[in-house]
Amino acid sequence: MRTRRVQALFVAAVLLVVGAGISGCGSSSSSGGGGSSDKGGTIALLLPETKTTRYEEQDKPNFERRVRELCPKCTVIYANADQDPAKQQDQAEAAITKGAKVIVMSAVDVKSAAAIVQRANAQGVKVIAYGRLIPNAKIDDYVSIDPYKVGQQQARSQMQALAAKGKKNPRIVMINGAPTDSNAKPYKDGALSIYKQQGASIVRSYDTPDWSPDKAQQETEQTVTSLGKTGFDGVYVANDGMATGAVAALQGAGVDPSTQSVTGQDAELTGVQRILAGKQLMTVYQPIIKIAETAADLAVPLAQGKKPPANLTPDKVNNGSKVVPSALLDTTAITKDNVNQTVVKDGYLKVKDICAGSYASACKAAGVG
């Protein structure tokens, strides 16, 4: 067993996490879930927004597929809140009314989501926090990654790239995630730990509402206007969606994005394409297929009134209300050198999509295919 540090917006102390990994999850067989295909159940999957493409393109279909594999008679109620906490609360209420026995939720606003959990608790409905830990609430399970580690992976990759370009004590602009997301602060804190350790200075830092690419573009434009084209050496961006806006702003201002070692996360198709084209340095690949499958492996037995196998949640995270059985999956830093060995090998992205059109030559140069 090992101890992991998980820092969140709502927790002042270090969260103690015990466990090294996941066994029995992410497989295509039904042995990992502990459910029974001869009994049904209703499960609600509530996701937070659509600006980040992974939710509609990866999380939803992979969760629904895994539920079908484990429990053909189960029903999945799906809803996306489009970054509206009140809408998500209405969606949760509707799911409970329709007979959901389990709510798998990635909260729009983790603080206000506690009210959803309280309502579910009162109705005997189980709650799995998906991706974002809900503080001070009696959730049943938590499935995610270690966000502090992700921030470290991003900053470490960027500092290595800037050092290779001869940049010592680089000046960094930080485009951070939404304050309403419990992962946003530990992403930032993880990155800051590396920047402090390696002598970087933060010349601008933004907490970007809604993880909005448009707002990230505006923030980057403001940076260029105030600091000038040569007033910063690197742009840290917390995810690929916002990197789209940041790169557009840099190009619009006449700044070559390749000089800024722009970071990202989520291994979105457009992010990987930018990496191959030299416009983005890296992204962080969350094993979203396994995350979605693990959540389904937990949800199915809960929906059937059973207890999921303990080996699905080897980690433990204190959310301020209880020690929550958790599954924290490892993440991987993606550069143009390991696209084949990661997102392509796992079937997360297809070569024909990555290498479409103008990206064919970049794929050939990087050996993707």
CATH fit for domain 3-146+287-330, picks 1.10.1200.120, 3.40.50.720, 3.30.420.40, 3.40.50.2300: 3.40.50.2300
Q: Averaged over 5-14, what is the pLDDT? A: 37
Quote the CA–CA distance of 325 and 129 in Å, as a whole number. Answer: 11
What is the distance between the alpha carbons of residues 131 and 291, in angstroms, rounded to a whole number? 8
Mean pLDDT on 86-101: 98
Q: Is residue 243 a contact partner of residue 251, using CB atoms and an 8 Å limit?
A: no
Task: From residue 71, give the alpha-carbon distance in Å to each of 23, 27, 67, 269, 322.
Answer: 20, 15, 6, 31, 30
Which is more confident, 218 or 7? 218
Selected residue with higher pLDDT from 29 and 318? 318
Q: In which band, very low, low, confident or very high, does the pLDDT at 33 lie, cut at 50, 70 and 90?
A: low
Reduce the secondary structure of the chain to three states and give it as a string. Answer: CCEEEECCCCCCCCEEEECCCCCCCCCCCCCCCCCCCCCCEEEEEEECCCCCCHHHHHHHHHHHHHHHHHCCCEEEEEEECCCCHHHHHHHHHHHHHCCCCEEEECCCCCCCHHHHHHHHHHCCCEEEEECCCCCCCCCCEEEEECHHHHHHHHHHHHHHHHHHCCCCCCEEEEEECCCCCCCHHHHHHHHHHHHHHHCCEEEEEEECHHHCHHHHHHHHHHHHHHHCCCCCCEEEECCHHHHHHHHHHHHHCCCCHHHCCCCCCCCCHHHHHHHHHCCCCCEEECCHHHHHHHHHHHHHHHHCCCCCCHHHCCEEEECCCCEEEEEEECCEEECCCCCHHHHHCCCCCCHHHHCCHHHHHHHHHHCCC
Confidence (pLDDT) at 3 = 38
Closest CA to 41 of 71, 69, 64, 20: 71
- Class assignment of domain 147-285+333-363? alpha beta
Q: Answer yes or no: same fold for 3-146+287-330 and 147-285+333-363.
A: yes
Domain residue extents for the chain: 3-146+287-330, 147-285+333-363
Mean of pLDDT values over 198-212: 97
The pTM of the full predicted model, rounded to 2 decimals, is: 0.84
230-241 tens-digit pLDDT: 999 999 999 999
pLDDT score for 39: 87
Predicted confidence at residue 13, as pLDDT, reads: 37
Write the pLDDT tens digit of every residue in 319-356: 999 999 999 999 999 999 999 999 999 999 999 999 99
> Which residues does 164 contact at the CB level (< 8 Å), separation at least 6?
none
- pLDDT for res 21: 38
